[in-house]
Amino acid sequence: MASPVAHSIIGLAFGAAALIPRSEGARAFLRNARRAWKTLLACAFIACAPDIDYIPGLFHGNFNLFHQQQSHSLAWVALLALAAWLAARARDPAAGPRAMAFLLALALSHLVIDLLTNDLSVPRGIMIAWPFSDRYLFLPFHVFPNMAKQDWSEMLSRRNFAVAVFEAAATLPFLAAAIAWNIRPGAGRAPPGRA
């Protein structure tokens, strides 16, 4: 499945497009992005969060042992978005349905990217319909090549570095488009979540 490179860049694109106040120019965007760095970091974290299932594998010498299972399901992603929404509401009670929809789309981006990534380790794909089904969904076409991630030696291999560079090249245009979307003439837009 894809690495944190692809997931976090897409997470940042979500944040740049929707959570940073509209900027009049590149300099204003950088200023606004700097002010919102915690929010952007949270977006990158949420976009990567389903890969938390690598952690138990660390203690078994096989990173893939529990990977692409429950935390890669629609149900888990919905719970993740709900938890993030409750945290956002604790900070800003005006966070409403639009904020929830944004967080859901952000978390879902992880599953979409993983489904568009090749997978050579069996069982291939993700357990998308858990807890209703333990079957894995694996698409017949892919955009991203697989990463070898069974242990540290595979993780830090030259091939994985090349895959990470490819992921960055494939996803950075989305971040650039999100920034271009943000930088438009027009006075400060209220961030979503205030609906």
Write out the residues near Zn ion by the rule CB under 5 A: 1, 50-51, 114
* 36, 15 Cβ separation under 8 angstroms: yes
Give the nearer residue to Zn ion in terms of CB position, either 114 or 119. 114
Give the nearer residue to Zn ion in terms of CB position, either 9 or 33. 9
Residue 63 CB, nearest approach to Zn ion (Å): 12
Query: Which 8-state DSSP code applies to residue 137?
Result: B
Tell me the C-alpha distance between 187 and 22, whole Å: 7
* 128, 112 Cβ separation under 8 angstroms: no
Give the nearer residue to Zn ion in terms of CB position, either 19 or 115. 115
Residue 48 CB, nearest approach to Zn ion (Å): 8
Peptide bond into 192 cis (omega under 30): no
Tell me the HSE value of 120 on the side-chain side, using a 13 A CA sphere: 7
* 95, 193 Cβ separation under 8 angstroms: yes
Residue 76 CB, nearest approach to Zn ion (Å): 11
Residue 64 CB, nearest approach to Zn ion (Å): 11
Give the nearer residue to Zn ion in terms of CB position, either 51 or 119. 51
